[in-house]
Amino acid sequence: MSSPPPVHPRRPKPKRLSLSLPLSPSPARPRPPGPRRPSLLALITQPPAAYPPPAPASPSSSSPAASTSTTPTTSPPLPPTFALAAPTAYPFRQTEPYQDGPVQVLPGIWLGAEESVSRWDVWATNATGNRVRVMNVAQEVEDPFGPGLSRVSGWSAPSGLPEEMPSRKLKLKAYPAVAAGDGARPIPHVEYCHARWSHGELGLADLPEDACLTDVLYPRAPESSERPWRFWETIRWMEEGRQRGIPILIHCQCGVSRSATLAIAYTLALAAAGAMPQYLGHIRVMQDAYDFVKGKSCWIGPNHSLVFQLVDFARSLTTLLSSHYATTPNALIKTSFPTAAESQLSEAEWARRRREFDEDDMGEYTTDRGTTASDGQTAVESCMSAEEAGEEARRLDAAMLARREAAIKEAM
């Protein structure tokens, strides 16, 4: 029988956020305040406007020149708390994200929303061996291939296969290919991973004690375990598949925050390891990785808690790079990523810069959250403490769960 028509619940207008982490040791000059933007939580229930969606991007269309330097540029350390600045390069786009399908962030790596899975014509056309991988990082979005859920995603899925309990934080499952028939589209062989991440997921930046950069260059897919997967495990699983010619789709519910966070973390890890230098050789700090992914999808806007995880992950990668050179000093990596020594400012220099900033008062401007400022390392739009970020994440989780339940009811 024919498959039911696709269900496209309204998608939120994502935050237009940008992280500005200047590399200059002098205090950053303020930018004029950008347009006031609603929070990601507010975007969930706002109706779309008549703006065209972004077209799927190709990595070769805007890739930077490859970096040939193996000496990273000095960068100051990231402060423990910071906020996000409103960009000026991207217009408001108030329609459904990824309605034309997912966008390609890097060759073989795609970023999209929940509905992007079924857009095989966009992201799975060159799959080696008719095999793909799907990385779902939304805790509230269930496996679309599981029994009883195919109506929500709008296409037929294999049936009769056992379904794991939704309470599990990690699910790894393989689904055989399904041939076309009775009007249904063919489905490739799917290797499916579901990491149930919340908007306030903790520990994502943690690394195993034996982690090294060669885990990224020569990855082995981590085995399933009771321990939830973090950035490191998901990146290794993705990269192991990509190197075998398997297209990878990263998605959450909207493709705005959680999946975008993983795409940025993946970009950071590959840049630190010197992989794909023709695309990532210029990346030195998290801001560069954020800008790179943002250049592929204007929809992305990780919430504060997840950005904090990215900050910690960038620090961890810097430590790994330092360890690599300490153990194998002659094994140069073609990367612009800094080592720990190169990224470290003295406490006296940091205090001097902060003191100059406090006295200068030139880095301040007013946003919809009040008067904030840049401290020389971060251009600030709205300061948010860890407690505030946690509350924001909890509200987002509740709103996204309600939104998901509404979409399921609408599809019934």
**Which residues does 362 contact at the CB level (< 8 Å), separation at least 6?**
27, 29, 30
pLDDT in tens, 82-97: 334 433 344 444 467 8
Nearest by Cα to 54 from 255, 263, 303: 255
Strand partners, 206: none
Strand partners, 370: 367
Segment holding 273, helix H or strand E: helix 258-273
pLDDT, position 146: 74
pTM: 0.71
The answer to whether the beta carbons of residues 215 and 236 sit under 8 Å apart is yes
pLDDT, position 129: 86
Q: Per-residue DSSP letters for 100-152?
A: T--EEEETTEEEE-GGGGG-HHHHSTT-GGGEEEEEE--TTS--TTSTT-HHH
pLDDT, position 378: 40
Q: Which residues of the chain are under the pLDDT cut of 50?
A: 4-39, 42-94, 149-166, 346-347, 361-382
Identify the CATH number of the domain defined by range 67-82+99-144+165-199+211-360+384-411.
3.90.190.10
Cα angle, residue 73 at apex, residues 312 and 34 outer, rounded to 5°: 65
The answer to whether the beta carbons of residues 63 and 279 sit under 8 Å apart is yes
Catalogue the long-range contacts made by 355-361 (C-beta closer than 8 Å, 24 or more residues apart): 356/27, 357/27, 360/27
Nearest by Cα to 213 from 72, 335, 341: 335
